[in-house]
Amino acid sequence: MLLHNGEAHFLWRCRVWLQVWLQVEGTMSSMSHGFPAVGLCLAALLLSNALLYLYLESLYPTDELLLSSHVGCEPRHFKMATMKNCIPWLQCSQINAEVRKLKLIGQGAVKKVHLAEWRGQKVALSQLSSLDYLEDFLHGVSMLQALQGPHVVQLVGFCLDNHTQVTEYHPLGSLLNLDSILAQEQHQQHNTWQMRLRLAMDYVSILHYLHGGPAGRRVMCDSSSLEKTLTQFLLTSDFRLVVNDLDALPEVDPSRGLLVKCGHRELTGDFVAPEQLWPFRTKGKPFADNLMPGYDERTDIWKIPDVTWFLMGRVPGGDVVHFHLFQIHEKCKKEDPKLRPSALDVLNVYRSVYGSMVRDNAGFRDML
């Protein structure tokens, strides 16, 4: 049975409250057996943990809360941090007249990206780099429109006539910069297992959204290596993740037996899922795209442990996180894609590990 985010989170919350309640109950009954002072202290400690949960939930809201609080504009409108009102997406005439390029900040296969300025606001202006990739560019713009929400970079406007799109600018850049950003003195206080695990939760939430969001079941195809995958995500200034590059999101539809292939070339290496590799490579048969079988979104699940290893980096407490995630990561790496968990299954484990580790940390600090 597939639970919706809200339901799963509700069940998780019930489980946590039940656990806390049972512990408090147990502690109270031990009080009646002759250790009132110790019992009272433990009960207070457990109750303080319960309050901590409430506090954490307010700090780290569920997806539904984020969705309702995100920007709050009508469809096809945008609003950046310093703007008072939402305004409609910019069109060709406004982009051509009002957006001024400042400097090149990124160059992938499909787009050339400039930091630009629009009415005193910094924005990112992306332009198609070669007509060979026109189809990918147009696909990316349509996915950006369809998937607008807290998990996706905010669209500011687009002009199909000259193959341009404008998005909200994120000064920390792509996720590939994570370690160098956290090494900077002004960001060092964020370099904790808590913040890094929150980024991993964001990453898996994004996959869950792409696998079952408003655009159907989409596969994050432009992810043939760890580095490539990381460059498709941006780090926001408040250390959250948004997906930025949606140029390669083919749709899987199991009801129509529709599978996908990520490109027409042979994929190699350990980062991609085994079903993405040419099955006859060991028999010496040369690659032929028409004989290559299709696959589904479980290729993204295979890649989760590697991305999370990168996101966790080497911080105190990171090894404990890896220990708790060992089992679910082992399942992500099942050769048979059908045996892998869904992104939501992984997300629920990450959330519960995060919650219990924060509680243990706080409990441990309280004891000192």
The residues that touch Mg ion, with contacts defined as CB under 5 A, are 108, 232, 245
276 binds, among ligand ADP, Mg ion, none (CB under 5 to 8 A by kind): none
DSSP labels, 189-255: GG-SHHHHHHHHHHHHHHHHHHHHBTTBEE---S-SSHHHHHHTEEE-TTS-EEE---S--PEEBGG
- Distance from C-alpha of 294 to C-alpha of 279, rounded to nearest angstrom: 11
Tokens standing for 305?
A: 């442990």
> Residue 112 or 324: which CB sits closer to ligand ADP?
112
Q: How far is the CB of 222 from ligand ADP (least distance, A)?
A: 7
Q: How far is the CB of 114 from Mg ion (least distance, A)?
A: 15
297 binds, among Mg ion, ligand ADP, none (CB under 5 to 8 A by kind): none
Q: Does 244 bind ligand ADP (CB under 6 A)?
A: yes
Which of 93, 141, 101 lies closest to 118 in space, CA to CA?
101
Tokens standing for 365?
A: 């600090």
Which of 152, 138, 89 lies closest to 110 in space, CA to CA?
138
Binding residues among 164-203 for ligand ADP as defined by CB under 6 A: 167-170, 173-174
Q: Identify the H or E element spanning 58.
A: helix 36-59
Half-sphere exposure for 69 (CA within 13 Å, toward CB): 8
153 binds, among ligand ADP, Mg ion, none (CB under 5 to 8 A by kind): ligand ADP
> Residue 168 or 245: which CB sits closer to Mg ion?
245
Q: How far is the CB of 134 from ligand ADP (least distance, A)?
A: 12
Residue 170 and residue 234 in contact, taking contact as beta carbons nearer than 8 Å: yes
Q: How far is CA 298 from CA 150, 248, 337, in A?
A: 23, 16, 6
**Contact with ligand ADP (CB under 6 A): which of 223, 231, 299, 308?**
231
**Contact with ligand ADP (CB under 6 A): which of 43, 110, 292, 343?**
110
Q: Does 118 bind ligand ADP (CB under 6 A)?
A: no
Binding residues among 136-155 for ligand ADP as defined by CB under 6 A: 153
Give the sheet arrangement for strand 155-159, strand by strand.
Answer: 99-107, 111-118, 121-128, 164-168, 155-159
Q: Does 350 bind ligand ADP (CB under 6 A)?
A: no
Q: Does 49 bind ligand ADP (CB under 6 A)?
A: no
Termini Cα distance of the chain: 43
**Contact with ligand ADP (CB under 6 A): which of 45, 56, 80, 109?**
109
| Footprint of ligand ADP (CB under 6 A) | 105-106, 108-111, 113, 124, 126, 153, 167-170, 173-174, 231-232, 234, 244-245, 247
